[in-house]
Amino acid sequence: MNRFDTALARLDATLHPPALPASDVAYALHDTSLGRLVVAVDAAGSLVACSYDPEAQVAERLARTVSPRVLRQPARLDDVRRQIDEYVAGTRRGFDLATSAVSATPFARTVLAALARVPYGATTTYHALATAIGAPRASRAVGNALGANPLVIVVPCHRVLRGDGSLGGYAGGLPAKRALLALEAAHLPGDALAAPR
Amino acid sequence: MSVGLPPFQQLVDDHWRDVARLAASIAGPREGNDVAQEAWVRALAAYPTLAHARNLRSWLLTITARTAIDAQRATGRTAGRRADVDAAAPVAAPSAELPDEELWAGVAALPERQRLAVLLHYVGGLAHREVAVALATTPAASRRLVSDALASLRVALGDAFSPEVP
């Protein structure tokens, strides 16, 4: 502390952070019943992150793989957050979002593209997914790719189980995976009119 | 991208207050926020072109100093500065404001390079080596500018003036 600091300390209440224009990457923190998500879009509005990882880790990954101009600008994520809320509430079964898994390796992108074809309420296995991309012996690599899924929920890695029917792993923790599977099972198309069993 | 720049938001979170304080000290309490805002916009635009991720704080404060000077040159140096300081002073605690008003008026009256040097050093916390980079001069010249500024402030504010807290 010096003489200038003590004078400036009296101004502190009038100082505020900058309001920056839309830039290369905007992100927001989004709390859901499944856990806290970090969601991000690029300048074109494509979803580039939907992750359970901590804010600093996701922001650093985006800085490295998309652009260092990464800003926390929640207003640019309003549509993304609304769609996630609807999904978690069971009123939405698919996402109307452009996506870009830029931080994924080429192999992981192949896995994620195959996964995107697994419909709401259905499940598959690591082995079936490996077979679907023509690499039937790569179950473990498929599991690793899913573990690093940069777009959780939207790219439904929670729909992938072990061959014996057990849950396997999940970036958001097994309770979140269990909750997502239960959510989808409870909101299958047509079930709205089905009689309770 | 290969130079490992941190996400820009981290710079904002870590340094926005330091930038705002430096801007307020150079441009005056009323213009400070506008200058800081403009400095951040400039920094954001230039950020991806940086060749390395070292001394980012010093880089931000240098941009802030230049932005403040540009803003002042654009509006012209007017006698309104002192009036602005008065107008922007909080209504409460009037007795506590007097020493600050004198300080800011004394700072505002300094020659531009002395003012930048003393504020970058004492408000920005930059070493003379970093002040020298910001002002495109040498560390020795930075030291001289700062000591000349302090001498002027002593004349303006009384012999007892010291940048250290009394």
**Which CATH number is A72's domain given?**
3.30.160
Question: pLDDT per residue over B34-71, tens digit each?
Answer: 999 999 999 999 999 999 999 999 999 999 999 999 99
Residues of A taking part in catalysis: 157
What are φ and ψ of residue A169, in 5° steps?
-115, 175
Q: What is the pLDDT of residues A131-185, one digit of tens each?
A: 999 999 999 999 999 999 999 999 999 999 999 989 999 999 999 999 999 999 9
The shortest CB-CB distance from B6 to any of A16, A63, A65 is to A63
**pLDDT higher than 80, residue A1:** no
- With CA atoms as reference, report the closest residue to A118 among A107, A108, A128: A128
Choosing among 1.10.10.10, 1.10.1740.10, 3.50.50.60, 1.10.3720.10, the CATH entry for B1-77 is 1.10.1740.10
- List pLDDT tens digits, range A66-82: 999 999 999 999 999 99
Chain segment B117-151, per-residue pLDDT in tens: 999 999 999 999 999 999 999 999 999 999 999 99
Residue A49 lies in domain: 25-89
Query: Domain boundary at A37, A60, A89, which?
Result: A89
Instruction: Please choose, from the candidates B96, B137, B97, the residue with its C-alpha nearest in 3D space to the C-alpha of residue B113.
Output: B137
Are A132 and A161 part of one and the same domain?
yes
Which of B1 and A32 is assigned the larger pLDDT?
A: A32
B56 in Cβ contact with B10 (< 8 Å): no
| Amino acid at site A155 | V
Single out the residue of A61, A149, A151 nearest to residue A97, CA to CA. Answer: A151
Clarify whether residues A79 and A116 are in a common domain.
Answer: no
User: Would you state the pLDDT for residue B163?
Assistant: 80
Residues A133 and A173 in one domain: yes
Q: How far is CA B55 from the centre of its chain?
A: 17
B110-158 CATH fold: Arc Repressor Mutant, subunit A (1.10.10)
Q: Which of residues 87-126 of B touch A (CB under 8 A)?
A: 88, 90, 96-97, 99-100, 103-104, 119, 122-123
Record: contact B41-A18, CB cut-off 8 A: yes
Greatest C-alpha distance within chain A: 76
* Mean pLDDT of the region A52-57: 97
* DSSP of B85-120: HHHHS-SS-HHHHHHHHHHHHHHHTS-HHHHHHHHH
Please tell me the predicted confidence (pLDDT) of residue B166. Answer: 46
pLDDT category at B29 given cuts 50, 70, 90 is confident
Per-residue model confidence (pLDDT) at position A30: 98
pLDDT score, position B112: 94
Q: Could you tell me if residue A44 is inside a domain?
A: yes
> What pLDDT, on a 0 to 100 scale, did the predictor assign at position B77?
54
Amino acid at A39: V
pLDDT of residue A136: 93
Measured between CA atoms, the residue of chain A closest to residue B14 is A17
Instruction: Specify if A101 maps to a domain.
Output: no
User: What is the rounded average pLDDT for all residues in chain A?
Assistant: 92
Task: For residue A135, count other CB atoms closer than 10 A to its CB.
Answer: 15
Is A11 a member of any domain? no
**Per-residue pLDDT at B165 exceeds 80:** no
**What are the extents of the domains in chain B?**
1-77, 110-158
The number of domains in chain A is: 2
Residue A160, in any domain of the structure: yes
Q: Report the distance separating Cα B121 and Cα B119, nearest Å.
A: 5
Q: pLDDT tens across B67-119, in order? A: 999 998 887 655 444 444 444 444 333 344 556 888 888 999 999 999 999 99
Cβ contacts of B32 on chain A, cutoff 8 Å: 11, 14-15
Q: What is the spatial distance between Cα B9 and Cα A59, in angstroms, rounded to a whole number?
A: 8
Contact A96/B at CB under 8 A: no
Q: Count helices and strands (H / E) in chain B.
A: 8, 0
